[in-house]
Amino acid sequence: MARDALDFRITPQWDLALTPTKDLMTAQGRLYREQQARLRLSLMRGEWASDRFMGADLDELRGEENTRELGDEIISRVIRALTYDGLFLEEELSVDVVPLSEDEVLVRIEASDEGTTPQTFEVALHLLHGTKPLF
């Protein structure tokens, strides 16, 4: 997948974004990468028909105990989901997992490339209910 591809722009509610004149909006560059990150962190692998490798499988971790080992597993899955096809390079990513409670963690991803202002993505992972992107 090209790092600066072009795609239809989607809203945080997963609807197609429209201009005021009802034309379809597009996502390119940083916006495209942000949209792709949000999508990948929300999916299970195999869920996206055109790319069976897309997804972080974070919902698979529901029911797990909130431990340091789980945090390491989350970091590994996030990095794999964002780098497997070159969307981001591993050295561009900083991933932290912050426990919010016994049953919930915040996953904070910072992506910096080519000297631009870093992009930050956050996902709340509730170990009983699943994931919720926060961007």
Question: Residue 85: helix, strand or coil by DSSP?
Answer: coil
Is 62 a residue whose pLDDT tops 60? yes
Distance CA 87, CA 32 (A): 10
Nearest to 96 by CA among 74, 112, 115: 74
Domains of the chain in sequence order: 6-11+19-133 (3.10.450.40)
The Cα–Cα gap between 59 and 56 comes to 8
More confident residue, 41 or 69: 69
Mean pLDDT of all residues in the chain?
Answer: 85
pLDDT, mean of residues 28-53: 80
What's the confidence (pLDDT) of residue 3? 62
